[in-house]
């Protein structure tokens, strides 16, 4: 029996047409998948050769959805040789559209997810930011997919959209404070005025390290090992000093005073020498950062000057200042450099009032 005669015999019966459709589907799927593999190898080589990273991410994101689209295409071709009415069946008519919509949304979610992962690896995005943005994206994709599915199967979504609009206004009014905290949390995570691990000082004077930035609140661990939970809206609206931006290194000053009869050249030499010795032995100082001494005023009882020193980060200022004050006090006593007590000269009136 010739191939043409076999083909005609299969088309002559209902069961034969289904067998023929199955064969077309299997052959078509195999051919399209093999063609995709060859084409994908060339596209991957081209993407790796470019200086951009977005093309690699898009190709990786499209790998799974593209296979699903090709299988759907093979099924659509197979339905053309299936028994009459099969292509017009609701499952075939709507199912393929829904598969294509699902593949497009799947590729969108994977592309954004790969981009967020790349930002997290390079340090552009924190892990908490990546998780939050990815969760919001998946909720949006789910809602968008649901609306497209309903519209595809013939359900009018106009009343649903109107109901969602009215309901959204009611929910926004009822959840005004939680929503304000949520969007403030998005601002903190995306704009990154503070990061987890940064040492901050709040407007009310509270100091501590940021341990968590969530969708509702920010956690700050104070020096007493207590955690202060601050609503994101309040944290974002207040003035916050971040001691770790733009760099963790910071300068601080030590104020001193010596007697008016002191040799200022010698005071400067001794103070800088002792300061350099302490900095060289300390793990809190910045290597290579030389201290600076500046005389600034004729004080009420002393010649006032300041020492400008750099510490590696804010939490190391206190121990470094402690070591410097002790060392300078001992060295000044050894060198007989007077640190005068505060004093005031009082002139008495010459006579009593009559």
Predicted pLDDT of residue 317? 92
Residues in the chain where the model's pLDDT stays below 70:
1-18, 47-48, 51-56, 79-95, 116, 118-130, 132, 148-179, 344-345, 347, 349-354
Rounded to two decimals, what is the model's pTM? 0.54
Same domain, 50 and 149: yes
Would residue 339 count as lying in a domain? Answer: no
Same domain, 41 and 122: yes
Predicted pLDDT of residue 1? 46
Same domain, 214 and 158: no
Residue identified by tokens 């709040």 is 202
CA distance 26 to 74: 8
Token output for 13: 């019966």
Would residue 186 count as lying in a domain? Answer: no
Q: Domain of 326: which CATH number?
A: 3.30.70.100
Same domain, 120 and 259: no
Cα 196 to Cα 29, 148, 311, distances in angstroms:
49, 39, 21
Predicted pLDDT of residue 139? 74
Predicted pLDDT of residue 52? 63
Predicted pLDDT of residue 332? 94
Full DSSP string of 318-334: HHHHHHHHHHHHHHHHH
Same domain, 292 and 227: no
Would residue 62 count as lying in a domain? Answer: yes
Q: Using H for helix, E for strand and C for coil, what is the string for 35-90?
A: HHHHHHHHHHHHHHHCCCCHHHHHHHHHHHHHHHHHHHHHHHHHHCCCCCCCCCCH
DSSP label of 314: G
Same domain, 33 and 144: yes
Same domain, 223 and 289: no
Same domain, 258 and 237: no
Predicted pLDDT of residue 290? 92
Residue identified by tokens 């015999």 is 9
Last residue of a domain, one of 141, 172, 203: 172
Same domain, 229 and 264: no
Closest CA relative to residue 90, chosen from 156, 154, 25 = 154
Would residue 15 count as lying in a domain? Answer: yes
CA–CA–CA angle 247, 184, 108 (5° rounding): 95
Q: Could you tell me which residues come within 8 angstroms of residue 215 by beta carbon, excluding any fewer than 6 positions away?
A: 132, 181, 182, 185, 232
Closest CA relative to residue 213, chosen from 184, 237, 239 = 184
Would residue 185 count as lying in a domain? Answer: no
Same domain, 152 and 111: yes
Would residue 177 count as lying in a domain? Answer: no
Same domain, 49 and 154: yes
H helices then E strands: how many in the chain? Answer: 10, 8
Cα 109 to Cα 133, 157, 167, 216, distances in angstroms:
11, 23, 26, 25
CA dihedral 145, 150, 154, 155 (to 10 degrees): -150
Would residue 70 count as lying in a domain? Answer: yes
Tally of domains within the chain: 3
Mean of pLDDT over the chain? 77
Predicted pLDDT of residue 272? 95
CA dihedral 232, 234, 239, 245 (to 10 degrees): -10
Same domain, 257 and 233: no
Last residue of a domain, one of 213, 242, 271: 242
Q: Domain of 208: which CATH number?
A: 2.30.30.60
Predicted pLDDT of residue 312? 92
Token output for 36: 């995709």
Closest CA relative to residue 304, chosen from 351, 344, 271 = 271
Would residue 342 count as lying in a domain? Answer: no
Full DSSP string of 212-267: EE-SSEEEEEETTSPEEEEEHHHHHHS--EETTSS-S-EEEEEEEEE-TTS-HHHH
For residue 227, what are the domain limits?
194-242
Token output for 162: 């109107």
For 307, phi then psi, to 5°, come to -110, 130
């Amino acid at each position: 029996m010739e191939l043409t005669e076999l083909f005609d015999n299969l088309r002559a019966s209902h069961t034969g047409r289904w067998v023929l459709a199955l064969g077309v589907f299997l052959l078509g799927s195999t051919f399209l998948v093999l063609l995709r593999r060859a084409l994908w190898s060339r596209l991957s080589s081209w993407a790796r050769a470019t200086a951009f990273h977005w093309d690699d991410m898009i190709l990786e994101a499209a790998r799974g959805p593209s296979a699903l689209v090709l299988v759907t295409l093979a099924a659509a071709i197979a339905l053309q040789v299936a028994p009459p009415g099969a292509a017009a069946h609701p499952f075939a008519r709507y199912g393929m559209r829904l598969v294509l919509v699902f593949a497009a949304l799947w590729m969108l979610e994977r592309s954004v997810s790969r981009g967020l992962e790349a930002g997290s690896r390079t340090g552009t995005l924190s892990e908490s930011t990546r998780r939050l943005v990815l969760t919001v994206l998946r909720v949006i994709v789910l809602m968008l997919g649901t609306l497209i599915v309903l519209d595809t199967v013939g359900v009018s979504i106009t009343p649903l959209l109107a109901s969602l609009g009215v309901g959204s206004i009611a929910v926004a009014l009822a959840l005004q404070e939680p929503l304000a905290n949520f969007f403030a949390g998005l601002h903190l995570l995306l704009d990154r005025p503070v990061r987890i691990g940064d040492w901050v000082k709040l407007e009310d004077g509270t100091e501590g390290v940021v341990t968590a930035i969530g969708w509702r609140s920010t956690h700050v661990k104070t020096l007493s090992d207590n955690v202060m939970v601050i609503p994101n809206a309040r944290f974002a609206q207040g003035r916050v000093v971040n001691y770790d931006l733009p760099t963790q290194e910071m300068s601080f000053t030590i104020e001193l005073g010596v007697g008016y009869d002191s040799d200022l050249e010698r005071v400067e030499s001794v103070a800088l020498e002792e300061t350099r010795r302490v900095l060289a032995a300390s793990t809190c100082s910045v290597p290579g950062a030389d201290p600076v001494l500046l005389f600034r005023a004729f004080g009420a009882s002393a010649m006032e000057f300041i020492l400008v020193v750099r510490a590696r980060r804010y939490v190391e200022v206190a121990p470094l200042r402690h070591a410097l004050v002790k060392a300078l006090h001992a060295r000044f006593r050894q060198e007989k450099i007077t640190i005068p007590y505060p004093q005031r000269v009082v002139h008495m009136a010459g006579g009593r009032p009559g």
